[in-house]
Structure 1
Amino acid sequence: MFVKHPCPYPLLLALPGLFSASLALAQEPTLATVSVQEKLVSDVTTTVTSEAVQTHAARSLGEMLRDEPAVSVGGGAAIAQKLYIRGVEDSMLNTTLDGAAQSGRAFHHQSRLLIDPELIHSVEIDRGATPASAGPGALAGSIRMTTKDGRQLLRDGQTFGASVRGGVASNDGHRWGAALYGLAGESVDFLVSANRDDNDDYQAGDGIRQTHSGSKQSSGLGKLNWRIAAGHRLTLGYQAVQDEGSRYLRPNFWQGQGNSLMPQKTTRDTLTVTYRYDGTRTLPAMELGLFSDTMKVTRITTAAQPQFNKPLGHQFGEEIASSGLNLKAATRVADATVRYGLNIHRFEMNAVHARPPAASTSNGREESSVKGLFAEGSVPLGDQFLLGAGARYDWYGYTDNHAQRISSRGLSPNMSLTWMATDALSVRASAGTALRGAGLKEAFYVDNTRWRNDPGLQPEKARNVELGVNYNEGPWSAKATVFRQQIRNFISTTTGATWAVANVGTMKSSGYEVGVAWNRSVWRSGLAVASAKPQLNGYDLGDEAYGLGVSTGRSWNLNLGYRIPTWNLDLEWFGRFVESKTSTEYLISESRTATKHKPGFGVHDVYVNWLPYGNDRLRVTFGARNLLNKFYYDQGSYAYYVSTAGAISGRGFAEPGRNVRLDVTWKF
């Protein structure tokens, strides 16, 4: 039975007392730094920094992660680009921005991540088994995004700075932005940043313009850091991102029956407050974060939509809001570090100008919550072994749009053992389970369809096992990982005959990732390959496995770079090659199987970075993406449909053809 829990915010009343007690001890001798951000060493963690974003002038989350062979992103407008890691959709991962949960899905035909790379300081991705501190519901991993700080942008000796930036692209758009940042005394730093990105419809490699693939995006970031006293910091942050344009109701594929063109607008506003304390001999290091995040999608019909009960000119959409707190603490006990804390998150979904079909009986609103406790630690075993273990226990509550109440709870343990065979070579084995209770369904369904939850919905349960090898010595580095994943009780829609949202089966996947890199003097090169074979109930994952994943061919990434120090130039070539994929999928909504063939492709990018002053005061970036103007569909796109007669049709957007870009950033 669902039990309504009290709002978490009364806990904030304890903050002043906690702050006063810790401030009084600020002058005590502190222990060696214990970071609550510290986590168990993981050979499958990827970190993308702002330097990499600038080097490649990335304009979307997919472009930020383009070096990762295990990542695929669907084509079309930025808002339609769905992200897959090891073939699993990002909706199965725990995703945060400065600690704020980015939860809920507006519509399975569009992305749930609305991010401007220009505002991001770093992105960390954990695949598979994640630390308990990563948060609740991390079935297939986690994505942690951190925004920039003003102090990070200042040059040595600088107390105030500003930057302006602009860029043009041949295929087809332009962008500009500006930022102000600096210090207010020794204890406060600030950042205010704004950006605008206007993109017209792009052309694919065959020269055909992909109609309504363009969009206009604007974003802003305000951030304030206050070093209250020795060991005490308070951070306030606000980020706003907006995407708008005329696109089809289902923006990730072409016009068709029931897929009318209409103006659409998507906004995301994220507010965070974070207090950090370094700890003393008597108090643990800690981090307390509060957040509020709201995503809103609105559309205006240009033709009546009788199947959704929407007349001509009606504005409708979805709003998903999350709020909560995260408390983390860390204590060093002898040679071991112990991290522990709690998460209290609340989610709410509302239809905008609700007008559900008569047969729906939906009230246009849902709410859910999760409350969890976690603990984890790492301890050396002799000189060569490191044992890590952790667990979290979560309580889920959910009230759906038909006033049904569903609750669940459970334990999610994990363990790892790392063998440091030599200073250069380590081997790591890890295993973990994760639980995610039933929660907000896809927001579009709440107002526009008859889908109703099965009252017996069970929580989704994941099991991840990995074995990894890591090598790093001299100019060489290498990494290899094999993995197995399983997600039971996957929650999705069934057929139109039952109109049920239910547990539809078990996803199983296995695969590997291998990467080798060489970096000596002015030369660098790399080779990486990734393969995953996700299946649902024995069939390959397909475009219709809404919210779960997609099947793609083996992916190869190669790069070669060369620096010319005397000219302050950096040159790079990058190639991505994906093998063809033939899959047999089960189409849930049509209760039949279909065999699809996705052609392979290879694309080449080149980049030139020039720092005229030898530092980042002035940066000029030239890039040519898809240099050879290849026509292709990314295998993560909703582009392949096979009818009952076996006819194949392409529904999705082809990828952009050659796109030559020039970006300039000037800091002063």
Structure 2
Amino acid sequence: MTQTPPFPCRALAVLLPLCLATHALADDAVQLAPVEVSASTPTQDDTLQREDLLKSQAHDLNDVFVSDPEISVGGGGNPISQKMYIRGMEESLLNLSIDGAQVNSKIYHHQTALILDPLLIKQVEVEKGTAAASAGPGALGGAIRYETVSAGDLLRPGQQFGGTLTGSVFSNEGWRSAGSAYGRFGDKVDALVSGTLMDTRDYQNGNGETVANSATEQRNYLAKIGVQLTDTQRLAASFQRSTDEGVRTARANMVGFPHPVLPNDPIPQSLERDTATLKYSGRQLGFVDGVDATLYRTEVDSDRTDKKGRNWGETLTTSGADLMLKNAIGDHLLKYGLNWREEKSAARNIANPYKLTGSGREDMRVFGGFVEGEAHFGSVTLTGGLRFDDYSYTDNHDQKFDSDGVSPSAGIRWQALESLELRAGYAQALRGVGLKEAFMLDIAQWKNNADIKAEEAHNSEIGFRFGQGGFSLEGNAYRQIVENFITTFSCPASRGGCRGNAGKAVIDGYELAARYRWGNLSAGLSVAESRPELEGRKFSDGDLGLGTSTGRSWVTRLDYALPEYGVQMGWLGRFVESLDYIPVGSTTSRSKAGYGVQNIYISWLPLKNDTLRINLAVNNLFDQQYYDQATYAWNGWQGKTLGYPEPGRDVRLEASWKF
């Protein structure tokens, strides 16, 4: 894999003059609280915190999002085959970022493009539905923002240097180890280096059967350095690498796909992602209350070697810059900024059996700007946003496509009572014609139709929040529309296929969540249901790049703390109702089986502080045999289940020493 310098000189050239220019203003400024503007959409967004991920010993995306009924993760127990869905929409319709660096386009539809050990995560912000103007270009289905830990998150008050060592074993089936070192150098500089290793063998399903070709080796590394330029200005750089290797079927999310021309043999495969970011943040700079600027570069490399010895794969490189300015105007808030992103994809060692593949390379560029505000009038808050994006795309057949448009959003929140808030909103988003998945640049013609149109999303939503004492109840209902969905399909005049607009997708749904806290006990119950349809039919597992259909999902949880013993314990249950749908290759209805899975954890601090932590977790406590409904499972043409089952019971024991 071609390595890119993690801290590009051109990034420093852009940001450092900005820091120096504002130095004089910042020295005399009074430091105030950061200015934040709420999103224009009234969704039930979610923020997942590091502490919860540590207690449950999260290993993969499924572990990270198991507590949110609006999010499904299918693909089985191998992280490389897992895909995430929000309200039935696939992750490829979302804006995904790590420390502000975008990871959006697809490498290969049978695997994920995002691997990251949850041990490195500080928090995950989930923005559901068509995202606010500030979420960046192309956020049709929402946004997920991963933030990794920094030295300041791990150092104790007054501590200059520290570290952590973590080791864990799990019965189904493998081990993980991790180490971090971090510190402050004087009053201005802090730094962190961290690494995790995870090796698993083929896991067992709930029936006790070994799932072949599900073993994996993962390596995750993180390095960060931050410089406090003044009391109100900070410059930070980070570099994060994740790798995954293993022998798995050519279609990593399918256990069987017998085909005389397109076999699904187990072959060595790897996925590697490098992400570098450079960030500047300033507060109370005189001319503006807040500045956030980010430069980033992400490179994803997929590699495969078949049984005939052919080595091939794909690369996807994303470079970008984001600038956000914030101002307080009396009681009102305003933020505005610019976004630039460039993506390049390429297939290596092209087979090109039909001499139709083209150059094997594509590139896309988008430049956009936005303004978003929040105005307070007594008990009523109005929010609104507007963004403009301009896309340019050149495909592997040297066809050029230009797309541009305006995306408005507006919302209202009314504090009807001290304990009751009502909200409603509407948002649009545009995603211009862009890269195919990189795999489709390799072996066959997948040619863009000349009249292909940009995708547009519309989201209408109403909701409420009630809270009194230790009890809260929150709910919302929505209708999401994606017009001109772009996908591939068979073309009579082509030996491969065409890429064009498939029509309109409509998703109706709701979510309701209740929580109660009484002393050291907290309880929660949430339910979510989405009904996604494409041109009047339910999403099927074959709607790759769009989404899938799942039954109504329930999540229940109890957490209890015994602070005098340094103990926290909890139980989480996820229950999914059965769903009737028409599978790929079928004309008759079939049912996706419902299931209920329960996890428990105990976290113990035996020294009554964070020096030593011992965690015990049991996932799938009752050894349930099931397929996640978001998994590509039954195939009508072959009359069999192709997807991977979920792991059976997994007992995880972990010890962590912080010094």
Tell me which interval the TM-score lies in, with the shorter structure as reference length: over 0.9
Output the CA distance in 1 between the equivalents of 2:319 and 2:197. 27
* Cα distance per residue 1:129-163 (max 9 Å; x no partner): 32211111000111111111101101122111010
Output the CA distance in 2 between the equivalents of 1:9 and 1:197. 33
Output the CA distance in 1 between the equivalents of 2:416 and 2:530. 28
Give the match for residue 3 of structure 1.
none
Output the CA distance in 2 between the equivalents of 1:204 and 1:300. 28
Output the CA distance in 1 between the equivalents of 2:556 and 2:288. 48
* Cα distance per residue 1:393-417 (max 9 Å; x no partner): 0000000011110110000110010
Q: 1:365 aligns with which of 336, 361, 368?
A: 361
Output the CA distance in 2 between the equivalents of 1:543 and 1:34. 44
Aligned pairs for 1:56-67 (under 5 A) are 56-67=56-67
Give the match for residue 605 of structure 2.
611
Output the CA distance in 2 between the equivalents of 1:323 and 1:596. 44
Output the CA distance in 1 between the equivalents of 2:352 and 2:365. 25
Give the match for residue 395 of structure 1.
390
Output the CA distance in 2 between the equivalents of 1:658 and 1:201. 14
Farther-moved stretch of structure 1 (279-288 vs 192-201) = 279-288
Alignment partner of 1:51: what SS? helix
Aligned-residue offset at 1:269 = 0.2
* Cα distance per residue 1:523-562 (max 9 Å; x no partner): 1111110000001111110111011000000001111222
CA RMSD of aligned residues (A): 1.7
Give the match for residue 192 of structure 1.
193
Output the CA distance in 1 between the equivalents of 2:448 and 2:277. 33
Output the CA distance in 2 between the equivalents of 1:489 and 1:9. 40
Alignment partner of 2:416: what SS? coil
Alignment partner of 2:564: what SS? helix
Give the match for residue 546 of structure 2.
548
Aligned pairs for 1:50-129 (under 5 A) are 50-74=50-74, 75-129=76-130
Q: 2:644 aligns with which of 653, 660, 668?
A: 653
Q: Is the 8 A contact 2:37 2:335 kept in 1?
A: no
Aligned-residue offset at 1:182 = 0.9
Q: 1:40 to 1:615 in 2, by over 3 A?
A: farther
Aligned pairs for 1:253-264 (under 5 A) are 253-257=254-258, 258-264=263-269
Q: Is the 8 A contact 2:42 2:462 kept in 1?
A: no
Output the CA distance in 2 between the equivalents of 1:406 and 1:62. 37
Alignment partner of 1:420: what SS? strand
Amino acid at match of 1:406: F
Alignment partner of 2:27: what SS? coil
Q: 1:618 to 1:197 in 2, by over 3 A?
A: same
Alignment partner of 1:549: what SS? coil
Give the match for residue 325 of structure 1.
321
Q: Is the 8 A contact 1:31 1:279 kept in 2?
A: yes
Give the match for residue 216 of structure 1.
217
Give the match for residue 349 of structure 1.
345
Is 1:637 aligned to residue 631 of structure 2?
Answer: yes
Alignment partner of 1:448: what SS? coil
Aligned-residue offset at 1:569 = 1.3
Aligned-residue offset at 1:420 = 1.1
Output the CA distance in 2 between the equivalents of 1:409 and 1:346. 15
**Structure 2 length as normaliser, TM-score?**
0.95
Output the CA distance in 2 between the equivalents of 1:64 and 1:37. 26
Q: Is the 8 A contact 1:129 1:414 kept in 2?
A: no
Is 1:621 aligned to residue 615 of structure 2?
Answer: yes
Aligned-residue offset at 1:468 = 1.1
Output the CA distance in 1 between the equivalents of 2:580 and 2:356. 38
Aligned-residue offset at 1:41 = 7.9
* Cα distance per residue 1:290-322 (max 9 Å; x no partner): 0000000000111xxxxxxxxx11110000000
Is 1:170 aligned to residue 171 of structure 2?
Answer: yes
Give the match for residue 228 of structure 1.
229
Q: 1:493 to 1:476 in 2, by over 3 A?
A: same
Aligned pairs for 1:441-460 (under 5 A) are 441-460=436-455
Alignment partner of 1:421: what SS? strand
Aligned-residue offset at 1:31 = 6.8
Amino acid at match of 2:490: T
Give the match for residue 5 of structure 2.
none
Alignment partner of 1:59: what SS? coil
Farther-moved stretch of structure 1 (50-59 vs 71-80) = 71-80
Q: 2:416 aligns with which of 410, 414, 421?
A: 421
Alignment partner of 2:274: what SS? strand
Give the match for residue 309 of structure 1.
none
Aligned-residue offset at 1:230 = 1.9
Aligned-residue offset at 1:29 = 2.9
Alignment partner of 1:178: what SS? strand
Give the match for residue 29 of structure 1.
29
Q: Is the 8 A contact 2:411 2:425 kept in 1?
A: yes
Structure 1: give runs of 5+ residues left out of the alignment: 1-7, 303-311
Q: Is the 8 A contact 2:39 2:383 kept in 1?
A: no
Is 1:271 aligned to residue 281 of structure 2?
Answer: no
Is 1:666 aligned to residue 650 of structure 2?
Answer: no
Q: Is the 8 A contact 1:36 1:287 kept in 2?
A: no
Aligned-residue offset at 1:119 = 0.9
Output the CA distance in 2 between the equivalents of 1:608 and 1:378. 42
Q: 1:189 to 1:208 in 2, by over 3 A?
A: same
Output the CA distance in 1 between the equivalents of 2:573 and 2:504. 35
Is 1:316 aligned to residue 329 of structure 2?
Answer: no
Output the CA distance in 1 between the equivalents of 2:491 and 2:253. 21
Output the CA distance in 2 between the equivalents of 1:471 and 1:183. 43
Output the CA distance in 2 between the equivalents of 1:16 and 1:524. 47
Give the match for residue 285 of structure 1.
290
* Cα distance per residue 1:97-139 (max 9 Å; x no partner): 1111102111111112212111111100011132211111000
Amino acid at match of 2:369: L
Q: Is the 8 A contact 1:79 1:243 kept in 2?
A: yes
* Cα distance per residue 1:66-109 (max 9 Å; x no partner): 10011111114110001111111111011111111102111111
Q: Is the 8 A contact 1:243 1:265 kept in 2?
A: yes
Q: Is the 8 A contact 2:27 2:230 kept in 1?
A: no
**Structure 1 length as normaliser, TM-score?**
0.94
Q: Is the 8 A contact 2:140 2:431 kept in 1?
A: yes
Amino acid at match of 1:52: D
Farther-moved stretch of structure 1 (475-484 vs 608-617) = 608-617
Post-superposition, which runs of at least 4 consecutive aligned residues in structure 1 deviate over 6 A? Answer: 8-12
Output the CA distance in 2 between the equivalents of 1:477 and 1:136. 34
Alignment partner of 1:19: what SS? helix
* Cα distance per residue 1:562-582 (max 9 Å; x no partner): 222222111211111100000
Q: Is the 8 A contact 2:228 2:234 kept in 1?
A: yes
Q: 1:522 aligns with which of 520, 523, 540?
A: 520
Alignment partner of 1:524: what SS? strand
Q: Is the 8 A contact 1:220 1:240 kept in 2?
A: yes
Alignment partner of 1:217: what SS? strand
Q: 1:9 to 1:489 in 2, by over 3 A?
A: farther
Output the CA distance in 1 between the equivalents of 2:644 and 2:471. 39
Amino acid at match of 2:71: V
Output the CA distance in 1 between the equivalents of 2:295 and 2:14. 14
Q: Percent identity?
A: 37
Q: 1:98 to 1:418 in 2, by over 3 A?
A: same
Give the match for residue 298 of structure 1.
303
Amino acid at match of 2:23: L
* Cα distance per residue 1:425-474 (max 9 Å; x no partner): 21110100100001110111101222111111100000001111112221
Q: 1:431 to 1:335 in 2, by over 3 A?
A: same
Q: How many pairs are equivalent?
A: 644
Q: Is the 8 A contact 2:241 2:275 kept in 1?
A: yes
Alignment partner of 1:438: what SS? coil
Give the match for residue 431 of structure 1.
426
Structure 2: give runs of 5+ residues left out of the alignment: 1-7
Aligned-residue offset at 1:44 = 1.6
Output the CA distance in 1 between the equivalents of 2:609 and 2:420. 34
